[in-house]
Structure 1
Amino acid sequence: MAINSILSVKDLTISFNTFEGEVNAVRGVTFDLKEGETLALVGESGSGKSVSTKAITQLLPQRHTTISKGEIWYHDHDLLKKSSKEMKKIRGKDIAMIFQDPMTSLNPTLTVGRQIAEPLIEHRGMTKQAAKVEAIALMRKVGIVAAEQRFHQYPHQFSGGMRQRVMIAIALACHPKILIADEPTTALDVTIQAQIIDLLKELQAEFATSTIFITHDLGVVANIADRVAVMYAGKIVEIGTVDEIFYNPKHPYTWGLLASMPTMKMDNDDLYTIPGSPPNLLNVPTGDPFSSRNMYALEIDFQEEPPMFKVSETHYAATWLLHPDAPSIEVPEEIKRRNEQFVSILAAKGADSDE
């Protein structure tokens, strides 16, 4: 495990057995999560973001899932070798998750107070009364007004934003070392989304939690992440600090994601989209899976998948354009224009961290 890393994922390879055949969902994913940092996983739907993180907590359906290679190290333990009973002690206590849709994650037949108190009783050994007191305190901490009364209410009596706050309270109840947030703001409107992001940032600082944040929203990434891993077709194709990814992107797919971000100044006709669609992972194409969508593709892109090339000590990208013999290609002007919208977000985040 790398120095100061709390979690190390190494060469993780996962497939699903389906009626149509074997889906190669995750293909050799490797990354470290450092203590106290937020690592964002970004990419289109089906790129392997959620599958990679669900493997960490053993939440993938065992009957149809094959993990053919890989290691997931938490402290000195490979989580892939843990039994279901051992993982039950880790899940929720050391590693917690916040899911995209709280309505399907919360139990509709139990009060929210009971659901927040449950991990306190299970993992921290509290009595029911002590757990109730702590649960109400957690509800207040995540911004739920009249917590004593709302403790006895059911999920359907809460708005979407308030249900997500309940999910955050449950996830943080045992002060986990690692928090995995799987698109926790996608189903919320923009105003509530901003409130949840600010809340997560505050609580992460308070509890010194290391966070893996899954999202497709690059505006959220600029606001919350320290490092970014860009995923495509089951692989990480670029990884670096948030500044490196936004200001010095190297992979054509990252260029496309950045260019696709809408801005306040653009007309409706100006919205850029990446041509084509992701490959079918039942039959991964030869070479670079992004080659058919890449206007800068080289001949070798259709023959051989590129390795990770080192850009800096913290920045790597899997594109043949970084090979010493590749032609020099400038970052498209479209992306340079898009970067303007992130300047204020990144600057504000930097100012906040300096205070």
Structure 2
Amino acid sequence: MDKLLDVKNLKISFNTYGGEVQAVRGVNFTVNKGETLAIVGESGSGKSVTTKALMQLLPKPHGFIKEGEILFEGEDIAKKSDKDMQKIRGKDISMIFQDPMTSLNPTMKIGNQIMEGLILHQKMSRDKARERTIELLELVGIPDAESRLKQFPHQFSGGMRQRVVIAIALACNPKLLIADEPTTALDVTIQAQILELMKDIQKKTDSAIIFITHDLGVVANVADRVAVMYAGKIVEIGTADEIFYNPKHPYTWGLLGSMPSLDNEGYELTAIPGTPPDMTDPPKGDAFAPRNDYALKIDEELEPPMFKVSDTHYAATWLLHENAPNVEPPESVKRRLKGISNTGSTPEVAKDGEQ
């Protein structure tokens, strides 16, 4: 597959009264054309900050990229000026935010809000932009699209407003679509419709998607690959099947164990003990160690490297070292691993940038 995005050693910090918050601490990942990568983790793990940096939407001057590269089609957009980024945002890279009501201008008709990008980036005439806007509204499943052009955001339901936001994001046929928890504010029925809509649109447009969520269940049928983030780092990354059926990191076990499903009858959901660390002073060694029931002594001293489980699967846990004790996932997670056998091979340490 052709590589569209390549993020290398990305470090992002925020200057606050309490000191420098190290929000993202050396993140590496790639996104291929037409692929969906889900980034999951608890609130505060660095998911949204990472993706906002891709579009240079960090709050300035307090938020800044400290180190690293963001290669989009081979060009480092982390070093581009704000003026240059204005030509990329909305045209090549678009973003769907969590709350549609804060994404839409309440004083503008939704037709004008969609047409704005078409006129600016696609240089369309107003009549042509209007035609395209009607097509987009029909594409995202809004009935009677032509008459709804003249309506304001408050005249739409929550699910319909999110569809409008998706139409705006898709207006200029972006190569990369970033969806930052786009279904969190919606009920489960509408959530399922929006997820199905995004899958359908991706098939039609062949755009790549980065899907941000704290809920592993949301991405089960959406993502091609999943990256699990904790304390500003990716701690496990692999195909959706590898993450769901052969997870290797205890944090991933915790996320899976706390995920409700129809087969949970007779079992209690598990919770991850403790709270995430203070990122003004990240802990020495493995940041997850204080919350990890399976932590080893080395976790308190040394940060684990990314161990290679397969060509597509990597995890940063000392439990994958050849000298580590054999530790099984908890019962709540093992139920999700039925029919999946371990490879039994000793993982290798990933080379820089290999993940």
Match of 1:145 among 118, 143, 146: 143
Three-state SS of the structure 2 residue aligned to 1:224 is: coil
Separation in structure 2 between the aligned mates of residue 134 and residue 263 of structure 1, nearest angstrom: 41
Segment of structure 1 superposing worse, 323-332 or 40-49? 323-332
- The number of residues matched between the two structures is 339
Give yes or no for the alignment of 1:76 onto 2:74: yes
Separation in structure 2 between the aligned mates of residue 62 and residue 79 of structure 1, nearest angstrom: 17
Q: Which letter does structure 1 place at the counterpart of 2:165?
A: M
Give yes or no for the alignment of 1:133 onto 2:97: no
Cα drift, residue 133 of structure 1: 1.0
Which residue number in structure 2 is paired with residue 313 of structure 1? 311
Give yes or no for the alignment of 1:5 onto 2:13: no
Separation in structure 1 between the aligned mates of residue 32 and residue 151 of structure 2, nearest angstrom: 38
Q: Which letter does structure 1 place at the counterpart of 2:138?
A: R
Whether the 8 Å contact between 1:240 and 1:316 is mirrored in structure 2 is: yes
Map 1:48-197 → 2, pairs under 5 A? 48-197=46-195
Three-state SS of the structure 1 residue aligned to 2:329 is: coil
Q: Which letter does structure 1 place at the counterpart of 2:102?
A: T
Cα drift, residue 268 of structure 1: 9.4
Separation in structure 2 between the aligned mates of residue 263 and residue 134 of structure 1, nearest angstrom: 41
Cα drift, residue 137 of structure 1: 1.1
Match of 2:260 among 248, 259, 262: 262
Q: Which letter does structure 2 place at the counterpart of 1:120?
A: L
Which residue number in structure 1 is paired with residue 277 of structure 2? 279
Separation in structure 2 between the aligned mates of residue 72 and residue 66 of structure 1, nearest angstrom: 13
Whether the 8 Å contact between 2:269 and 2:332 is mirrored in structure 1 is: no
Three-state SS of the structure 2 residue aligned to 1:122 is: helix
Separation in structure 1 between the aligned mates of residue 34 and residue 276 of structure 2, nearest angstrom: 33
CA displacement 1:32-74 (0-9 Å, x = unmatched): 0011110000000000000000000001012101211100001
Match of 2:250 among 252, 258, 262: 252
Separation in structure 2 between the aligned mates of residue 214 and residue 13 of structure 1, nearest angstrom: 18
Separation in structure 2 between the aligned mates of residue 311 and residue 338 of structure 1, nearest angstrom: 19
Would you identify which runs of 4 or more consecutive aligned residues in structure 1 move more than 4 Å?
none
Three-state SS of the structure 2 residue aligned to 1:165 is: helix
Map 1:190-269 → 2, pairs under 5 A? 190-266=188-264
Which residue number in structure 2 is paired with residue 295 of structure 1? 293
CA displacement 1:239-261 (0-9 Å, x = unmatched): 00001101110000000000001
CA displacement 1:197-240 (0-9 Å, x = unmatched): 01000000100000000011212211100000000000000000
Three-state SS of the structure 2 residue aligned to 1:306 is: coil
Separation in structure 2 between the aligned mates of residue 84 and residue 17 of structure 1, nearest angstrom: 20
Which residue number in structure 2 is paired with residue 352 of structure 1? none
Whether the 8 Å contact between 2:296 and 2:318 is mirrored in structure 1 is: yes
Separation in structure 2 between the aligned mates of residue 68 and residue 201 of structure 1, nearest angstrom: 34
Three-state SS of the structure 2 residue aligned to 1:312 is: coil
Tell me the percent identity: 66
Segment of structure 1 superposing worse, 121-130 or 214-223? 214-223
Cα drift, residue 267 of structure 1: 5.8
In the alignment, structure 2 segments of 5+ residues that lack a partner are 339-355
Three-state SS of the structure 2 residue aligned to 1:196 is: helix
Which residue number in structure 1 is paired with residue 344 of structure 2? none
CA displacement 1:247-282 (0-9 Å, x = unmatched): 110000000000001123446981211011111111
In the alignment, structure 1 segments of 5+ residues that lack a partner are 341-355
Which residue number in structure 2 is paired with residue 353 of structure 1? none
Query: By percentage of residues, which structure has more helix?
Result: 1
Separation in structure 1 between the aligned mates of residue 137 and residue 261 of structure 2, nearest angstrom: 35
TM-score (norm: length of structure 1): 0.93
Separation in structure 2 between the aligned mates of residue 99 and residue 332 of structure 1, nearest angstrom: 35
